[in-house]
Structure 1
Amino acid sequence: LGFSHAEVAGLGAGAFVPEEKFLLQRAQEAEILPMRDLFGQIWRGSMPALNNASEQDWNNYYSSYVQTFLQRDVRALTQVNDELQFYRFLCAAASYTGSMINYAALAKEAEITAPTAKQWLKVLVAAGLVYLLEPFMHPNLKYGVKAPKVYFTDTGLAAYLLRWSNAEILEAGAMSSSFLETWAVMEIYKSFSNCGQIPPLGYYRDFNSREVELVLNVDGSIHPLAIRKSSSPVKETKKFDILRPVTEGERALKLGAGGVICFANDLLPIDARNWYIPAGLL
């Protein structure tokens, strides 16, 4: 994994759990990042070599990175006879970052079979280029989808593969929300991984398409998080109610503190349990 935002910004170490004490501490340490600055980070990516790099350096770096990956790492991990076909698959996979995986659609885009798409996605996971976020499961949640969501571990690589040529175009583009979600999920993933912990992350989406983008399962409590490209998202925490069944029965869990990761100008309480969390606090 590349640098985390917390490392670059010099914030205190610690796994990101949206509880009051942690959030208030972060709010004292961290700067509120304007959307433009954050999308600059998202577009540039987290590779150490690209910290403060120019656009030309960015293009050269990722061009070399992809070539090395195709010519060396892919051959070590799987039998691929056609590097160009695998490159097409890699670009198609990048278009799914922040989305549920659909192997049939991915295969069609890459002009391969669905079993091959599934196998090649495993190669990207094994190589550390992709993280699959599994659905949050509980016996009381009977109507959740079971497909994982795909996240490129480095947003800069995904931007390069999809030909987003600068941060401004990415911010204004159709995939800006998917890239923000990818960045936020990976920052929280890194916060646990950098502490030597297996990241306890999942998501929940029911058959009515109501979704909680991130569910943290920590010490018997679940912490729901929404992720929105807005400075004042409204009614986002109401969908957290779809998780209430987990608080009942023999295997009950507590519904802990949560919030909406967004572009609010400050850390602000929404209600007794949830917060507006500026993205820069990650």
Structure 2
Amino acid sequence: MVYIKRSLERKFLKMSEAFKVVMVTGARQVGKSTMLKHLAENTGRVYVSMDDADLRELANRDPKLFIQMYQPPVLIDEVQKAPALFEEIKIICDNSDERGQFWLTGSQSRKLVKQAGDSLAGRICVLKMYSLSAKEIACRAEDIPGEYSITSLISRSSALPKNNILDVYTRIWEGGMPDMLNMDAEQRREYWNSYIDAYLMRDAVDDNGIIDTEGFRKFLRACAAFSGQLLNYAELGGAAGVSGTTAKEWLKVLQSMGIVCLLEPFFSNELKRMVKTPKLYFCDTGLCAYLSSWTSRDTLMNGAASGHFLENYVVAEMIRNASYGEREMNLNFYRDKNQKEIDLIVETDGVLHPFEIKRLASPERKTIKAFGVLEKSDREVGAGGIMCMAEKPFPIDENNSLIPVNVI
């Protein structure tokens, strides 16, 4: 299989120059091991996987001997299966000033991040990886937007094919799991079915102690049905036949596994009557589409939930930009009790960039009317606009533009 360059490569290598340990976490099968093994090629770095039962047993029983056998620089895959290694790694790091000694991968979990943070505080950088973005699939891994002015948008758009709703919904329906890129619809269905059984359900039981597996399956589907909506634990739990308290705990499990993410509401002391409830999104829209029983791109694209899926897709792509880019980006949304709403607010360097997300090629200009509420906040408001199906960027006013979805 041809290797697909990942957007996280740049940041990972840069952090490896600054930290003694760099760990990549993320959901199962998003490509963590593949990326690190690719980066380790021809460097002399040893690769060892904790999927090997004998090596795993040795690492947990005698971590000192394990490190003697696999000396740094080393890449340790699935490190969450050998937690005894963290203390030994700490000792090695404290006795050397070498950077990038240990590269680690681990399937995302609360337990793993806590273990690594407790043992390796100040020595480790933890980076999060997601399934393939549209940019990575299109071989544009390094093309992460840093600004949203009309000049910048036109420049970026000139190097891309015209925005096309069929292409966008293909990406939404297929998702970004690397192993699925060349699969047909039947193969994708079986892949997701196996993914849920072999990974999600097993991790829910083994790592998180969830006993009600049938209820957890229903909860997964309920989350897909509520994607893109304000989070209501009672309603979410009710859809799965569990209590709101259980729904809250299970949602934390799905977050820790890298399956869903929450977009928090924007907060400002100057703005009153704001909704304080987060919105729920899936990290991979392909999994969300499968759980929602959308059996083809066209049925999804023409279905009642197509707008929610487009919003989920845009938010997920922007989360990847925030995770992989050089500049710090905070992502929020705005909604108040007067029903004024802004789908997405990107804050960089203290400047707010507001965006609406619409499944239209020519959305009305009044769509951005709600952006005015941000003028009352304590931060500068910069370039924003409407992320939509327009074929190319087009100015709405001096600050805002129509932004083709494929440009983000």
Q: Deviations over 1:77-116 (max 9, x none)?
A: 3221121110000100111111111111111111101110
Match of 1:13 among 133, 139, 143: 143
Q: Name the amino acid aligned to 1:88.
A: K
Q: Which residue of 1 aligns with 2:400?
A: 274
Deviation of residue 69 (structure 1)?
A: 2.7
1:249 counterpart residue number: none
Aligned counterpart in structure 2 of residue 94 of structure 1, from 202, 213, 224: 224
SS in structure 2 of the partner of residue 201 of structure 1: strand
Residue 398 of structure 2 is aligned to residue 244 of structure 1: no
| Counterpart residue type for residue 2 of structure 1 | S
Normalised TM-score (structure 1): 0.94
Shift of 1:240: 0.6
Is 1:263 the equivalent of 2:389? yes
The answer as to 2:296 corresponding to 1:133 is no
2:199 to 69, 86, 111: 69
2:158 aligned counterpart, secondary structure: helix
Deviations along 1:172-215, whole A, 9 cap, x unmatched? 11110000000001111101212266641000001022210000
1:22-79 superposed Cα distances (whole Å, 9 cap, x missing partner): 3233112222231122111100001111213210121111011111234421123322
Map of 1:156 onto structure 2:
286
Match in the other structure for 2:157: 27
Q: Which structure 1 segments of 5+ residues have no match?
A: 247-251
Aligned to 2:337: 207
Alignment of 1:102-113 (within 5 A): 102-113=232-243
**CA shift digits 1:138-168 (9 cap, x unpaired):** 1111111000000000000001111000010
Q: CA deviation digits over 1:226-270, x for unaligned, max 9?
A: 000001110111111121101xxxxx2111000100011211001
Deviates more, 1:196-205 or 1:263-272: 196-205
Counterpart selection for 1:122 from 252, 277, 292: 252
Equivalents in 2 of 1:127, 1:219: separation in Å? 30
CA spacing shift, 1:17–1:129, aligned 2, 3 Å: farther
* TM-superposed deviation, 1:8: 1.5
Inter-partner Cα distance in structure 1 for 2:147 and 2:196? 34
Structure with higher Rg: it is: 2
Separation in 1, partners of 2:314, 2:146: 11
Q: Which shows bigger deviation, 269-278 or 20-29?
A: 20-29
1:53-68 to 2 correspondences below 5 Å: 53-68=183-198
How far the C-alpha of 1:15 sits from its partner, in A, is 4.2
The separation in 2 between residues aligned to 1:61 and 1:27, in whole angstroms, is 34
Preserved CA contact (<8 Å) 1:70 1:87: no
Distance 2:307 2:261 in 1: 18
- In 2: Cα distance, 1:55 partner to 1:150 partner: 26
Q: Which has the higher contact order (CA 8 A, sep 6+)?
A: 1
TM-score, normalization by structure 2: 0.66
Give the conservation status (yes or no) of the 8 Å contact 1:32–1:281. Answer: no
Number of residue-to-residue matches in the alignment? 277
More displaced, 141-150 or 25-34? 25-34
Amino acid at match of 2:369: K
Structure 1 residues 238, 71: CA separation in 2 closer, same or farther (over 3 Å shift)? Answer: closer
Partner residue, 2:62: none
Whether the aligned pair in 2 keeps the contact of 1:101 and 1:150 (CA below 8 Å) is yes
What is the root-mean-square deviation of aligned Cα atoms in Å?
1.4
Identity %: 36
Q: Is the 8 A contact 1:2 1:48 kept in 2?
A: yes
Cα shift at 1:17: 3.5
Structure 2: unaligned runs, 5 residues or longer = 1-129
Query: Aligned residue for 1:4?
Result: 133
Contact 1:213 1:227 in 2 (8 A): yes
- The CA distance in 2 between the partners of 1:51 and 1:154, in whole Å, is 14
Q: Does the aligned pair in 2 maintain the 1:15–1:188 contact within 8 Å? A: no
Letter in 1 for 2:400: N
> Structure 1 residues 197 and 97 mapped into 2: Cα distance closer, same or farther (>3 Å)?
farther
Equivalent-residue separation in structure 1 for 2:152 and 2:324 (angstroms)? 16
Please name the residue that 1:194 is paired with.
324
Q: Is the 8 A contact 1:42 1:180 kept in 2?
A: yes
Amino acid at match of 1:261: M
